[in-house]
Amino acid sequence: MELRYGMNPHQTARVAGGGDHLRVVHGCASMINYLDALNAWQLVAEAGRAAGRVAAASFKHVSPAGAALAGELDETMRASWRLGDGAVGPVTAAYVRARDADPRSSYGDMIAVSEPVDHELADMLAGIVFDGIIAPGYAPGTVAALGRKKGGRFLVFEIDPTFRPPESESRTVFGVTLEQDRDSVPITADLLQVADGQTLSDNAVTDALLGMITARYTQSNTVVYVRDGMSIGVGAGQQSRIDCTILAGSKARTWWTRRRSTKPSGITLVSDGYLPFRDNVDAAAEHGVELIVEPGGSLRSDSVAEACREHRITLARTGVRLFHH
């Protein structure tokens, strides 16, 4: 199947095989649209299963600007997205919480939700700029309503939620085909081994799992700040771990500033790779981090643990690296 174009408009592209589990029900997709949609779907499907709640993600350039589970909406979210004071369903709530992490980066995003799109979400999306959506189904009439966006060029993907991918995956780069096992290590609470600090609460475990799953589908290096079932800062694709930590922290600080709060707290930091130096812990402490989750294994693991003790940050190690490229 021919695509609208590849990575850039001057590149042709096509679906060369597979794809029976994914349908374009409206619009014409580019290669980046496919990459965003497929990565975003994997994130929300895995997060939804892990937490037992609806999950949503806002994707841009093959990384999430935000990811979240359904939950309470605060006054800032309700005002930002014109939701009033009434009850809001879980699918809408999950996406609002995901988009609210970094609204500027989410402009023109690919949306993913783990449950079918209902009329409430479709109505809310009518006033938002985004490029497309992927979901396991759509309530009657919602595809037509969404399809009117962007002058009828809006993109709607429907995916079979029962599809399970092959155990291996491959890619061809400059004439070389590489193949590896798919990263299918289960992200569960059993991975979280407290190395120093307090026993993890149920909420802390949920935030840790969401952060790990978000990191799994974010361009490495990456650091994710999570609070109350929401990623509120994602530092993606940086060559230096400390740059990831600072970038994600600055986004989390902006999230707090929008709430006119000067005392960030209750934040979990998840790193897709080990923290190589204590500077990451020092930076995290400035942004209200109370729990750090990392694979461990650095030559300076003792120094990292000591920094956590100094800042009264609980440290949990998983033994699992989550690089994604």
Catalytic positions are 60-61, 221, 325
Taken as a whole, the chain contains a residue count of 325
Structure tokens at 211: 């952060």
Q: What is the DSSP letter of 268?
A: E
- How far is residue 234 from each of residues 77, 123, 252, measured CA to CA in Å? 19, 28, 8
H-only helix segments in 52-106: 75-80, 90-99, 103-106
Amino acid at 159: I
For residues 134 and 117, give the distance between their C-alpha atoms in angstroms, rounded to a whole number: 9
Query: What are the residues facing 57 on neighbouring strands?
Result: 67, 112
Q: Which of 300, 26, 20 is nearest to 159 (CA)?
A: 20
Q: What is the DSSP letter of 69?
A: E
SS3 40: helix
**C-beta separation of 271 from 215 below 8 A:** yes
- How far is residue 14 from each of residues 17, 19, 29, 42, 163, measured CA to CA in Å? 9, 11, 10, 21, 21
Helix (H) or strand (E) holding 158, with range, is: strand 155-159
